[in-house]
Each structure stands twice: as structure tokens, then as C-alpha cells.
Amino acid sequence: MHKLYLKRCAFLFILALGVFLYSSPKVFAHELSGYAAGELRLFPNEALYPGQNEQSASFAFQPEYYHEFKSGSSFTFVPFVRVDSGDQERTHFDIRELTFLWLEEDFELRVGVRKVFWGTTEVLHLVDIINQTDLVENTDTEDKLGQPMANLSLSRDWGTVDLFWMPFFRERTFAGTGGRLRGATIVDEDRVQYESAAEEWHSDWAFRYSHTFGDLDLGLSQFLGTNRDPTLLDGTDSSGNAIFIPKYEQIKQTSIDASYVVGDWLWKLESLYRTGQGNDDYFAWAGGFEYTFVGVLESGMDLGLVGEWMFDTREEEATTAFENDIATAIRLAVNDAASTEALLGWVQDLDTSARFLFLEASRRFGDNWLLTAELRTFLNQPMEDFLFEQRDDEIMQIELAYYF
Amino acid sequence: MKHFYTFLIITSLLATPVFAETPEEKGLAIAKEDDKRDNGFKDFTANMVMLLKNKQGEESSRHIRNKTLEVEGDGDKSISIFDRPRDVKGTALLNFTHKVGTDDQWLFLPALKRVKRISSANKSGSFMGSEFAYEDVTSQEVEKYNYKWIRDEEYKGELSFVFERYPVYKNSGYTRQVVWLDQKDYKILRIEFFDRKNSPLKTLTQSDFKQYLDKFWYPGKMHMENHQTGKSTLLTWTNYKFHNGLSDKDFNKNSLKRAR
């Protein structure tokens, strides 16, 4: 990780700690929680690229320290570390959260490192842009790197307005030589390029309006700044091997996210318009529904159906695998004491034969242990598909976590 | 003493309608009186431990903190925050109950920092894996049922009204509920739930009542037994605090994100 960034984080930490110690001695909540987890990944198919493994083991630790003042203001610190046997790029440390929340009657101000989520759909998180994806954690893009920011939030009768100032940019993490779930060409993060002369110190801004109108939840957002999703340029390393150079452009993104409840149906839409990445501006959207059967087969179990369509007007040029795809999924919640859950999904490319299947299941043991299993497989990947080079990266992953 | 008898006669004359009250009217009158006695708490916070027991007797527990705001002219607003099990710590549910129709619900998922709207049309689903359905734990409003008084009887040493109530809501999991309500303090002592086929489904017994603010009787224990599955759930309420000065601002999506 960037040394300056660490220094800046340490500075923020000391600043937040100072504010915290100064502002109120009457602390009423001290809280330490978090988890430690062991994870095993098995890749049944032989690796396509030299250096890759058929299995890997890793360990992750994420404690969370939380403090609340009488005023309702609070301080949160969440560091994260993973040690991985298969890929040295997956062995990494991050500050997921280091925030001071200043809570007042008419505003909320958060200063520090945080994670913010925007969006409504389940399979592709299209409009979610504040945080950089921690891609080495999981290719489902749901793991994020902590984003340094100041966030002012105003909640009024007519809606909530959020203003974000992000003074430092986080680079995306990519699998290294030993890692699976990557293409043939390694992304060389040391050769990173920025469109802005300020590089990672470019100030990014975002503005969001969100409100609930009866059964409709609506969010409108504008982002101005460094693209989270880099363009990969062809390059060669010192020994003449082909590499990818990540390039982070300056973009403008306008987006909408909405969900609408109609009886047992939940309808969702995410859509964005982006300029500044590549030569052409583009639209993308993801939308669909979720329907839940409650108490199926008189058992107390809930069965949910998810259907989503994802489209990107760049089509084959898209920097996503979901340029014209349909996702369907079944979610089962057993509603037992162990909170047993399973999600089975199928993503089908509408232009080619490519499809992608996934199964995620979890169950609690005792009060503190959680066992999670994930299975993902790629089928019928044609050569032109975005994930063709990962066609043999079928993965079985088991994680056992202890929560405290 | 003489005055007391006169007083009794007068009040009973006043209370007795000129025409005979039908069981339906009497049932509704009881429900209205119950609702009246529950009005005016403004807001409260409380802690709840949910003990789940399966047929084999295996137990597991969930610890939840609850904040409730009384809304005049509509159902209550509430936020439920999970403390245990630890893997769901920080998960929070925001609920706007409405007198008629469906409620509004949002779930906060702390790992993703995501607030998700959820469809609450089907209120018969399990509340957090327990034997309580959503419709059992959301605020009880007069308009949600039709009523019929059955009889008066002594229940656990307290003279009680026994009445039936029939959910108005078409997606309810019940055809009817039989309620035992004590006549002195209007505490719900027992409810028997009958499923859509009118078979006995669950029985709720409430005990360890305490009076708050010299007015409101709240149960310390709520025990729900499912006769069809053999499972049961015991809710234990502690640390009731009233008049915390909560307002609408403490019950929106922003406050849900920091409700912990």
C-alpha cells in the first residue's frame, strides 16, 4: 500500500482520537467486536497460467472498535488483514473504517475512512462508486477498500442530501502471478497511470439525493473524479513479458437507483451515464425483480426468486462481464436457529453461450461460528467473452469464521 | 359504603347501552378501550432476548435492542438492532406500521453498508427465524381486526375477557385469534392463533407484567409455542425506558445506517 496513504491515515486517526478525547469525557459505549476467519479455496481444474495454484489457504482478521458519545456522535475503527498462501497480492492490509461521526440535530458529518453503498440490484452493483473494489478478496466486487472522505449528510422532510469530498484515491487490487480468477496477463500496479496530474491526490466529489416516496425508494447521484474501474493498457515488463497497465481516467457519472414495492414484488433499477472513460460516453443499466414465497410447503422457509437484466451500451468494448446478461437466482432462507441460507444463481450472456453458475450457502454453529461455502463455475465461455481467460477457474471456497 | 353502591349502580347504568350489545360490538368496544389505554407512551427503548427452542430442545438466542415511536393517527415506527449472534451484529430493521394495508420495511446489512427495502406484503413470515410472525410483533391497531366477544372467565386468577379477532389483512397467516385480556388492567395474557385452515397453530402466553409511567402494562416475558412444529420462542424484555425524546428523525434510512 502507498506509504503516504498510510501516513495520512495515521494522521486522520490521531486527529479523530484527539477530537474524540477532547469532545466528551462522558463515553457510554466501548465496544470491541469483529471476526477471524480461515478460508480454503479449491480449483478443480488445472491452472492455465504458470505460477497459479490448484488450492490455497488463507486467514483473515477484522476487529472493530466502536465508541459512542452521549451526544450520539461516534468513533469507529476497523482494520483488516489477510494472509494468503496462494497469491502474494491477496496477502494485504487495509483500513476498512476509521471514522469520526459528528451527529447534530440538522446534520451528520463523517470524517475519515469509510465504506458507502449505493444501489438496489443483487448481482451487479452498477452505480456503487464511492469505494474501490478489493478485487483480490472476491470477484463478486462486494468487498471494498476503505475510502478517505468527508461526508456531510442533511436529512430533511423532502429528502436526504449527501455531499462527499474524497481527497485520496485507492487503486484497485488485482490478483498476482499465483492467483486464480485472473486473465493471462498480470496487472502491474507499479506502472499505474492517471489522467490527472494530481494522480491519487486528485480531489473527487460526489453528490447524492435520496428519498422515499411511499413504495418508491429513489437515489440520484453525481460523481466527479477518478474512475474506480481502470482501463487496462497493454505493456511489457523489464523482462519483456506482456503486462497490463491500469489507467485511471477522470470521469463524470450520473446515476439513478430505485426500488419499488408492489405487493410481494420488489422491482429494482440502477442506471448510469458515464463520460470520460474511453472515447465514447455510455449508458448502462441493471434492473429486475425479487419475489418471495413466504412459508413454502408449510415449512416456515422463505423462498425468494431474483431476476435481473444487465446491459452496457459499449457491448463488447465494456469493461464488465455483464454487458448484456440475464441473471436468475433462487434464495432459500430456512428460518432455523442456525440461520441456514442458500443462494443459487445463473448468469446467462444473451449474445453468446457463456454462462456462469454460483452457489452460496451459510450456516451458524453455536453462537459464534459461521460456515460459508461458495461454488462458482464458468460454462461455455467463447473466446471473445470477457471471462474467457478465467474459463478454468471454477472455484470451491469454504470459510469458517469466528465472530466475537 | 352507601355512596359506593350508588356510584356502582350509576356507572353500570351508564356503561350498559339501552339496547343489547352484540358480541361483535362488545368485542370492538374491548379492543378500543385496550387501544385507548395503550395510547400516549410517546416512545420507548427496550432490550429483548429471543430464545429459540426446537423440537429436540436445542436452544439458541438472539439479542435485540428496540426503539419504538408512537405515531398519532397511524401505526408505530420502530427500529430493531441485532447484537447477537455476532455474525449478524449491527443488522437493523426499520419498520413503519400502518393501520391498514402493508407496512414499510427496510433492512440494514452492515457488511455491505447497504439499506435494502423489503417487501412486507406477506406478514406471516417468520420474524428473525423465530415462531413470531411479523404480524405478531408489529404494532397492534384496532383497525387490523374484526372482533367478537365470546365469554368472561377467570384466567390464571384474573377475570378476563375472552374474545376472537379476525385479521382484516388478506395476506394474514391466520383465520382467527382467541385473546384472553384481563379486565382490570387490559393486559393480554394469552392468544391462541389458528392458521388459514382454522387449525390450532400457535399459543402465546405473556407474563411478568410491569406497569410503566403509572399507566402502561408491558409483559416481561412472551412465550410463543408452535403446536405444528414443536418449536417455541421465548422473548424476554428488559430495560424499558420511556420518553427518550425520540422523533421521526430517529426513524429514517439515515438513522438506520448508524443504528447500532
Q: CA A173, CA A144: separation in Å to the nearest integer?
A: 10
Which of B115, B119, B253 is nearest residue A292 as measured by Cβ atoms?
B119
Angstrom distances, CA of residue A314 to CA of A246, A321, A351, B19, B259: 19, 11, 13, 77, 40
pLDDT at A25: 47
Does B55 contact chain A (CB < 8 Å)? no
Does B196 contact chain A (CB < 8 Å)? no
pLDDT in tens, A32-68: 999 999 999 999 998 888 889 899 999 999 999 999 9
pLDDT at A325: 93
AA letter at A56: S
Q: Which residue shows C-alpha cell 405478531? A: B136
Q: C-alpha grid cell for residue A200?
A: 491519487
Q: CA B187, CA B182: separation in Å to the nearest integer?
A: 5
| Helix and strand counts by DSSP (H, E) for chain A | 1, 22
Q: CA A97, CA A83: separation in Å to the nearest integer?
A: 19
Residues of B in contact with A217 (CB under 8 A): 106, 117, 253
pLDDT at B169: 86
Q: Is B129–A339 a contact, with Cβ atoms under 8 angstroms apart?
A: yes
pLDDT at B228: 92
Closest B-chain CA to A401: B87
Q: How confident is the model at residue B21 (pLDDT cuts 50, 70, 90)?
A: confident
pLDDT at B108: 95
Q: Give mean pLDDT, residues A97-120.
A: 94
Q: Is B122–A264 a contact, with Cβ atoms under 8 angstroms apart?
A: yes
Q: C-alpha grid cell for residue B101?
A: 394495508
AA letter at A28: F
Between strands A159-166 and A204-213, the pairing is antiparallel
Q: C-alpha grid cell for residue A178?
A: 499465483
Q: Is B119–A74 a contact, with Cβ atoms under 8 angstroms apart?
A: no
Closest B-chain CA to A293: B122
The count of structural domains within chain A is: 1
Does B52 contact chain A (CB < 8 Å)? yes
Closest CA to B254 of A100, A128, A212, A255: A212
Q: Is A339–B113 a contact, with Cβ atoms under 8 angstroms apart?
A: no
Per DSSP, A46 falls in state P
Residues of A in contact with B87 (CB under 8 A): 35, 364, 368, 370, 401, 403
Q: Is B119–A264 a contact, with Cβ atoms under 8 angstroms apart?
A: yes
Does A107 contact chain B (CB < 8 Å)? no
Residues of A in contact with B118 (CB under 8 A): 266
CB A304 within 8 A of CB A291: yes
Q: C-alpha grid cell for residue A23?
A: 469532545
CA distance B33 to chain A (A): 31
Backbone angles phi, psi at A49, to 5 degrees: -125, 145
Does A372 contact chain B (CB < 8 Å)? no
Between strands A231-236 and A282-296, the pairing is unpaired
pLDDT at B137: 86
CATH value at residue A37: 2.40.160
pLDDT at A390: 86
A290 pLDDT higher than 50: yes
Does B170 contact chain A (CB < 8 Å)? no
Q: C-alpha grid cell for residue A301?
A: 422457509
Q: Is B89–A403 a contact, with Cβ atoms under 8 angstroms apart?
A: yes
Closest CA to A269 of A304, A219, A233, A227: A219
Which of B84, B120, B125 is nearest residue A302 as measured by Cβ atoms?
B125
DSSP string computed for chain B: -HHHHHHHHHHHHHHS-SSPPPHHHHHHHHHHHHHHHHTT--EEEEEEEEEEE-TT--EEEEEEEEEEE--TTS--EEEEEEEESGGGTT-EEEEE--SSS--EEEEEETTTTEEEEE--S-TTSBSTTSS-BHHHHSPP-GGGEEEEEEEEEEETTEEEEEEEEEE-STT-SEEEEEEEEETTT--EEEEEEEETTS-EEEEEEEE--EEETTTEEE-SEEEEEETTT--EEEEEEEEEEE-----GGGSSHHHHHH--
CA distance A117 to chain B (A): 6
Per the model's pLDDT, the better-predicted residue between A7 and A367 turns out to be A367
pLDDT at A139: 87
Q: Give mean pLDDT, residues B69-76.
A: 90
Contacts of A274 (CB under 8 A, 6+ apart): A251, A252, A253, A254, A281, A282, A284
pLDDT at A64: 96
CB B164 within 8 A of CB B27: yes
State the residue range of the domain holding A27. 3-403
Range with the poorest average pLDDT among A220-229, A365-374, B98-107 = B98-107
Q: Hey, where are the domains in chain B?
A: 22-258
CB B121 within 8 A of CB A264: yes
Closest CA to A335 of B6, B133, B192: B133
Q: Is B54–A217 a contact, with Cβ atoms under 8 angstroms apart?
A: no
User: Mean pLDDT, chain B, as a whole number?
Assistant: 89
AA letter at A171: E
Residues of A in contact with B47 (CB under 8 A): none
For residue B163, the Cα-to-chain-centroid distance in whole angstroms is 16
CA distance B194 to chain A (A): 14
CA distance B160 to chain A (A): 32
CA distance B38 to chain A (A): 27
Which of B102, B129, B254 is nearest residue A160 as measured by Cβ atoms?
B254
Does A401 contact chain B (CB < 8 Å)? yes
CA distance A361 to chain B (A): 14
pLDDT in tens, B131-176: 999 889 887 889 999 999 999 999 999 999 999 999 998 888 999 9
Q: Is B254–A155 a contact, with Cβ atoms under 8 angstroms apart?
A: yes
Does B249 contact chain A (CB < 8 Å)? yes
Q: CA B259, CA B81: separation in Å to the nearest integer?
A: 7
- List the CATH code of the domain at B22-258: 2.50.20.10
CB A206 within 8 A of CB A223: yes
Per the model's pLDDT, the better-predicted residue between B11 and A200 turns out to be A200
How many CB pairs below 8 Å do chains A and B form together? 101
Prediction ipTM score: 0.90
CA distance A364 to chain B (A): 8
Q: What percent of chain A stands above pLDDT 70? A: 93
pLDDT at A9: 61
Q: CA B118, CA B253: separation in Å to the nearest integer?
A: 13
Q: Give mean pLDDT, residues A323-332.
A: 94
A27 pLDDT higher than 50: no
Q: How confident is the model at residue B124 (pLDDT cuts 50, 70, 90)?
A: confident
Closest CA to B103 of B81, B127, B123: B123
A28 pLDDT higher than 70: no
Which of B87, B115, B252 is nearest residue A364 as measured by Cβ atoms?
B87
Q: Give mean pLDDT, residues A239-266.
A: 94
Does A253 contact chain B (CB < 8 Å)? no
Does B33 contact chain A (CB < 8 Å)? no
Q: Give mean pLDDT, residues B166-193.
A: 94
Q: CA A100, CA A69: separation in Å to the nearest integer?
A: 11
Q: Is A160–B125 a contact, with Cβ atoms under 8 angstroms apart?
A: no
Q: CA A37, CA A370: separation in Å to the nearest integer?
A: 9
Q: Give mean pLDDT, residues A238-264.
A: 94
pLDDT at A26: 45
Q: How confident is the model at residue A72 (pLDDT cuts 50, 70, 90)?
A: confident
pLDDT in tens, A118-145: 999 999 999 999 999 999 999 889 999 9
